[in-house]
Amino acid sequence: MSTHQEEAKKRLGSLITEAYKAAGETRLSLSDAVGLSARSLYAIETGQAIPRKGSQERIEKFFDWRPGAIGELLKGVRGVNLEQITQKTMRTETAPKKVDEMRADLDETARRIQEDAKALSDRLRERDRTIESLEAELKQERNRTNKLQEDLHTAVEALRAQQNGEAVGGEVRSGIVH
């Protein structure tokens, strides 16, 4: 194994130790949480062993490191200062290709949101036009209803007046006839 790989194993071990201590955990609690024996975890911490793929994934998940961070560290590139790899870079550093993919996804999402917003705006404008049209129809119906009520009121008053006139006239006639 190359010197770089040995250094990468040791850096991984120190990152793991640093991470569980910062989280207030112990080697035993971490080993239980990720399904490793305390002895195996100690071997990883001291750079004597490399965690298997499944263990790497559980460790990454436990510390909220990005998927594949351990594999990237262990593969590493010669000449890279391993001390620059920190808890933060294990969580957030991504390859430029991944950043480009994320940017493209973000752009596509933004484009879809803009399209959806425009479609929603168009539907709202159409709904507003429909509401205005219905309000105009309602106003016309109210005017017709008011006119019909006025006509009905006038007709009722005319009938009452006519009935009152006939009743008064009928009494008079009946008084003459007697």
| 111-142: pLDDT as tens digits | 999 999 999 999 999 999 999 999 999 999 99
* Mean pLDDT for the chain overall: 86
Alpha-carbon dihedral sign for residues 165, 168, 172, 178: positive
Angle, to 10 degrees, between the axis of helix 27-34 and the axis of helix 38-45? 110
Percent of the chain at pLDDT above 90? 64
**Looking at residue 3, what is its pLDDT?**
81
Phi, psi angles (nearest 5°) of residue 93: -70, 130
Please provide residue 46's backbone torsions phi and psi, each rounded to the nearest 5 degrees: -90, 5
Task: Say what the pLDDT of residue 122 is.
Answer: 95
The larger pLDDT score, comparing residue 123 to residue 103, is at 123
Q: Which has more confidence, 97 or 140?
A: 140
pLDDT tens for each residue of 32-62? 999 999 999 999 999 999 999 999 999 999 9
Could you tell me where the beta strands, DSSP code E, fall in 2-110?
none
- What percent of the chain stands above pLDDT 70? 85
Phi, psi dihedrals of residue 12, rounded to the nearest 5°: -60, -45
pTM, two decimals, is 0.51
- pLDDT for 79 equals 61
CA distance 15 to 53: 17
Domains annotated on the chain, with CATH: 3-93 (1.10.260.40)
